[in-house]
Homo-oligomer: A and B are copies of this chain.
């Protein structure tokens, strides 16, 4: 049989042709967009330096790269108009929630228009019988829970900051409750998304599950505005538990605390939160939140369920803690005490920053398989101590996820360089332990450089191909997650 001669290089290319490296659009294009926006949105377009800078960068240590304008739409249709106008003139758009992201997600390295969604903050529907709701992206998690409380429902995810739901979906946020209730990938049922071409895509139906085609919902969750602008979310809810109890449990060592977490998860106790603070963070919280906790590695816990099941969970945890040198736990079921305790946990970032006035917090996170957690945290603590850094460790350890927040004197280039090297080692350590460079903060600009080491070249090429398929002109939050050099 004669084989047809087909050259080896006839293999399909994975990605379509890559666009040229992105650059700032010409001034005339930006002018055209600003003038079009002004005509359409009047004083809902802001170009003052202060507002533009605020929209580029709030809690990140990366340099501020302000957009050319900020616009405040009121509807999906208005977002479509903004995206279409910008697309016509090849000007980037950057969606903006509350600006609490940590890796430069809302920076505008190529200028463009920041779409601030805060005025799209309505609850469009609550389906109590289906345990779901439909909201606009600008509503924050506290606003949503305020709205839901009377119906005995709550939205569980809690990243600490009072972030917007749109931003939480865009960064695949998780937070303190994720060990029980999952991350945003688990609680988003459907999204409405304005695509790069201005069309509106609905990613899924309101049914609890579906096998009807590619999972566009999960593709958008975590895409950080690079594939489209989220303008509506359908979210899973939960009934407020009959009983909630909280505890603070001190340990003698980091390893003891981490090992207790591992054993708790392995034993199947459905713990709702299990949070770790090292002694540096506990000291920071004592100072900032006026607490009097023992300054030692500590777990903060919460159990949800019926009265009986909460009591049973607490009892089983206490046995485990004791086996790893932990306890005695202080328990509370009183709502005001629980609130005070978790407020302190949520203020951990600010408490940390207050430890070294004038310094900037380089908040970062990694996540490893839980069997490697103790090892990873202990090695990280050693690295911090060897460098002489002030860097508290705090984490959602039930998922193997922890945060480190070196406090850096931004006037000291040697210190900045040392911290940058520390951050690289932290990521290398997590990757070596089969972990990820970010468990919940996202990629933004800060972690782009780690993606190839984490995922390998074929996965990164697939991400690039998907980005270009949905945003061929690279105008949706360009310069984040995947780069085109």
Contacts and interface: CB of A to CB of B under 8 A. Distances in A.
Nearest to A265: B131
Contact of A32 (B4, B208, B459): B4
A264 interface: no
A132 B369 contact: yes
A331 interface: no
Given A31-B1, A203-B459, A455-B213, A470 B436 contact: no
A195 interface: yes
A88 B130 CA distance: 50
A466 B1 CA distance: 37
A214 B481 contact: yes
A206 B369 contact: yes
A160 interface: no
A13 B197 CA distance: 7
Contacts of A481: 213-214
A82 to B, nearest CB: 14
B473 A12 contact: yes
A235 to B, nearest CB: 13
A426 interface: no
Given A14-B470, A459-B202, A469-B465, A212 B32 contact: no
Q: How many monomers of this protein are in the complex?
A: 2
A205 B455 CA distance: 7
Contacts of A439: 207, 209-211
Interface residues of A, number: 123
Given A198-B11, A371-B130, A434 B214 contact: no
A395 to B, nearest CB: 12
A434 B205 contact: yes
Contacts of A206: 369, 434-435
A471 interface: yes
Interface in A113-165: 127-132
Contacts of A441: 211
A203 B1 CA distance: 40
A420 interface: no
B440 A216 contact: no
A208 B312 contact: no
A475 B10 CA distance: 14
Interface of A: 1, 3-4, 6, 8, 10-16, 28-29, 31-32, 35-36, 84, 87-89, 127-132, 171-174, 178, 182-183, 185-186, 195-216, 218-219, 221-223, 227, 238-239, 241, 262, 265-268, 270, 306, 308-309, 312, 367-371, 399-401, 430-431, 434-443, 447, 450-451, 454-463, 465-473, 475, 481-482
